Amino acid sequence: MSVTADVTTLQSFFGEKVWETLEFRGEHTVRVELASLHALLKKCRDDLGYELILDISSIDHFGEDPRFEMVYEIATLDDSKHLRVKAKVAEDESVPSITDIWLGADWHEREVWDMMGIPFTGHPNMKRILMWEGYPFFPLRKDFPLAGRPSDMPDVAFTGVAPLEGGPFVTCAGGEDVARREPRAQVVK
């Protein structure tokens, strides 16, 4: 079966729970409601042959509701099929863990929790993986200041100016629209 056939199978099986399907430059994306995310990914593994979880990431759509979006990249062992699955997540929602489907999801989910603050229900070890336990912030959120926040642990985290602050490759949180937050739209002084 092809990825196109897999997308059609998912649409017919999950019906209105699949909100959108996209194909761009040969890459296929399925957008699904959060409540059906776990079941859809399980079907992809069990019935459609997607044996690998390549990556789990998240997007912060700061200023929009729902604010976050989960992105799952899955593939077959022979790399003949690759599928992206997305689900929107509100700021107060948690995401079902898929560690029972793919053990490799463990560290990916911990990283999303650590950097974005999106919790996973059913995760066997939901604790920070990059920042220290007790760190009260989520550094990849768009509202996290570029210069960082003051730290009670100066030996672990510096509080000086970030090396790239204000540079041409740094996005700014807020802004009127997505195009104005883009680094190339900023004027370097």
**Residue 187 in this model has a pLDDT that exceeds 60:** no
CA 30, CA 43: separation in Å to the nearest integer? 13
pLDDT at position 163, please? 53
Mean pLDDT over residues 25-51, rounded?
Answer: 97
pLDDT at position 57, please? 98
Q: What is the DSSP string of 111-167?
A: HHHHHH---EET-TT-S-SSSPTT----TTSTTS-TT----S-TTTS--S--TTTT-
For the record, the structure tokens of 33 come out as: 């409601």
Domain ranges of the chain: 3-140, 145-189
Under CATH, which number does the domain 3-140 receive?
Answer: 3.30.460.80
pLDDT tens figures, 39-87: 999 999 999 999 999 999 999 999 999 999 999 999 999 999 999 999 9
pLDDT tens figures, 106-153: 999 999 999 999 999 999 999 999 988 888 899 999 998 877 777 666
Q: Is this model's pTM higher than 0.85 or not?
A: no
User: SS3 of 66, please?
Assistant: coil
